[in-house]
Amino acid sequence: MTARPFRILGLQQVAIGGPDKQRLRGLWVDLFGLEVKGQFRSERENVDEDICALGSGPLAVEVDLMQPLDPDKKPAVHATPLNHIGLWVDDLPAAVAWLGAQGLRFAPGGIRRGAAGHDICFVHPKASDEFPLAGEGVLIELVQAPPEVVAAFTAAASLVRPSGQGSPP
């Protein structure tokens, strides 16, 4: 196996689907206090979503609250309540090329602009004969990290010793 030409930096998002986005907002926004940062609506993706933030700054985790525009169409963003996870990647094109060469299956659509404005692509949850590796039942979104997120994760990583203990101040 050749050297990996990219780094997975950290968790970028968790996407939660349901038949009624207002009920999701009642829990995540009203009770838990997450801040709504934006909305996204797409006929192609069959989704009406609120984009929320857990934490702040470049290490904040996005929490997407999603309902289908049409519950009888695909993709069925509500069919599994935990729809997908998103991972920050420092070099998305290099990651897609390398992972594909290793036999990883991607969902249709390729690299494209995502709901939050970052380039994204999805790892398919199920393997195929042509692509024997996949998300093992989990839809995984790979998200191109902007420079400030790459810098923040790089700085945070430099504060941690190899043993996992934080370095002294």
Rounded Cα distance between 163 and 13, Å, is 27
User: Is residue 139 in a domain?
Assistant: yes
User: Is residue 87 in a domain?
Assistant: yes
User: Is residue 121 in a domain?
Assistant: yes
User: Is residue 70 in a domain?
Assistant: yes
- In this structure, what CATH number is given to the domain that contains residue 128? 3.10.180.10
pTM of the full predicted structure?
0.78
User: Is residue 38 in a domain?
Assistant: yes
Residue 152 tokens, joined: 């923040």
Report how far apart the first and last C-alpha atoms of the chain are (Å, whole number).
38
How many structural domains is the chain composed of? 1
User: Is residue 164 in a domain?
Assistant: no
User: Is residue 169 in a domain?
Assistant: no
User: Is residue 64 in a domain?
Assistant: yes
| Cβ proximity of 122 and 140 under 8 Å | yes
Q: What domain range includes position 12?
A: 8-158
Of 66, 51, 62, 69, the C-alpha closest to 18 is 66
Buried b / exposed e over 14-35, threshold 16 CB at 10 Å, is bbbbbeebeebbeebbeeeebe
pLDDT (tens digit, 0 to 9) for every residue of the chain, 169 residues total? Answer: 789 999 999 999 999 999 999 989 998 999 888 999 999 999 999 999 999 999 888 899 999 999 999 999 999 999 888 889 999 999 999 999 999 999 999 999 999 999 999 999 999 999 999 999 998 888 999 999 999 999 999 998 888 655 545 444 4
Residue 26 tokens, joined: 């009642």
